Amino acid sequence: MKAYIKGISYYLPETIITNEEISRRFPEWSVEKIISKIGILKRHVAGEHETASDLACKATEKLLTEYNIDKSTIDYIIFVTQSPDYILPTTACILQDRLGLSTSIGAIDVNQGCSGFIMGISLAKGLILGGMAKNVLLITAETYSKYIHPKDKGNMTIFGDAAAATLISTEGIAEIKNFSFGTDGRGAPNLIVKTGAQRFLKPMNDLVFDEKGNLKSSDHLFMDGAAIVNYTLDYIPPLVVDTLEKNGIEKKDVDLFVFHQANKFIMDLLRKKLRIDEDKFYKYYEETGNTVSSTIPIALYHAMSKSVVKSNSKVLIAAQGLGYSWAGAILEFTD
């Protein structure tokens, strides 16, 4: 038995924040500076009453239509999100009902950030190889915009909301080969929304700005950029090496590298560090920003539609996520 990606679709919410708008709000950040350093042209954000599960439904409806999938064949949902509808119950259960899927299925939420897509396909592959499911619907969806303080220009510039729906099945377009995983919980404080769950239930109202206008608030998304850069430099090059080893291949055997599309700065840093040729290093962040767990499926969608991946292409996917949690895998496209 083998597990394959059978189809990928995605959905972006309607509202767009342009660089011009960010520059208007934060005159110290010019449009040119955002483009040259961050490389993102625009990002989509969910509406006030629009949740990650709303985006998830739209992405799934597109997937079912674009690949002509009979939804009664879906026998498991994995919903990767850190923007659930409720503390409880599980949002995946709500999605089963909203999508009109069979009641004879399993449904779980997975709380992971940027490594979430790769963690999700690893679970889906396990379900399929274990004979427990035949068609796993993996949805990645985030609305980080709701966690970002309106004066936080850094995170506002980087992150965009999105959902991607991927069907993992016993046959399809790309075989899911072997994985490499990593976790280091010491990194937890470096990308965090501290309050609102059980450790710190109540808001702390401790917003502070440094002399350059960067803010820190326990009640909003906080990212320690310097720590994340060092984390990326420490863990991602060895992750790529380990992913190659676990698949018994060498770097030259990889036709395309599709990394987590964090932003231009991080992508350029990794490409240089790993000495990957430009034409083998796929980039898709300009139009969407960093959509957390959806960046890799969105990038794969575009790489497939522009025929950047061809029959028999070996694609190395890799992501560094909060937690810290990181993961890599090889996808081998079929004939």
Partner 1 sequence: MELKKFIELFAEQFDDTASELFTPSTIFKDLEEWDSLTALSVIAMVDEELEKRITGADIRTSKTIEDLYNLAISN
**Applying CB under 8 A, which residues contact partner 1?**
28, 33, 36-38, 154, 211-212, 214, 224-227, 229-230, 233-234, 265, 269, 272-273
State the angle between helix axes of 264-274 and 225-246 in degrees (0 to 180), rounded to the nearest 10.
Answer: 40
Decide whether 265 or 281 has the Cβ nearer to partner 1: 265
Closer CB to partner 1, 177 or 194, in the complex: 194
* Phi, psi torsion values for 236, nearest 5 degrees: -80, -40
Q: Which is nearer to partner 1, 234 or 242 (CB)?
A: 234
* Nearest-angstrom CA–CA distance, 7 and 27: 42
In the complex with partner 1, which residue's Cβ is closer, 153 or 194? 153
The nearest distance, CB 272 to partner 1, in angstroms, is 7
- Closest distance between partner 1 and the C-beta of residue 37, in Å? 5
Q: Toward partner 1, which CB reaches closer, 234 or 286? A: 234
Q: Cα separation of 92 and 56, whole Å?
A: 10
* Closest distance to partner 1 from the beta carbon of 225 (Å): 5
The smaller minimum CB distance to partner 1, of residues 216 and 246, is found at 216
CB of residue 166 vs partner 1: minimum separation in angstroms? 31
User: Least Å distance between CB 238 and partner 1?
Assistant: 14
In the beta sheet, which residues pair with residue 192? 222
Q: Are the CB atoms for 59 and 49 separated by under 8 Å? A: no
Q: How far is the CB of 239 from partner 1 (least distance, A)?
A: 16
Minimum CB–partner distance for residue 214 and partner 1 (Å) = 5
Q: How far is the CB of 19 from partner 1 (least distance, A)?
A: 14
Give whichever of 95 and 267 is closer to partner 1, judged by the CB atom.
Answer: 267
Toward partner 1, which CB reaches closer, 38 or 46?
A: 38
Three-class HEC string of 194-259:
CCCCCCCCCCCCCCEECCCCCEECCCCCEECHHHHHHHHHHHHHHHHHHHHHHCCCCHHHCCEEEE
Structure tokens at 249: 């291949």
Q: Which of 137, 176, 247 is nearest to 2 (CA)?
A: 176
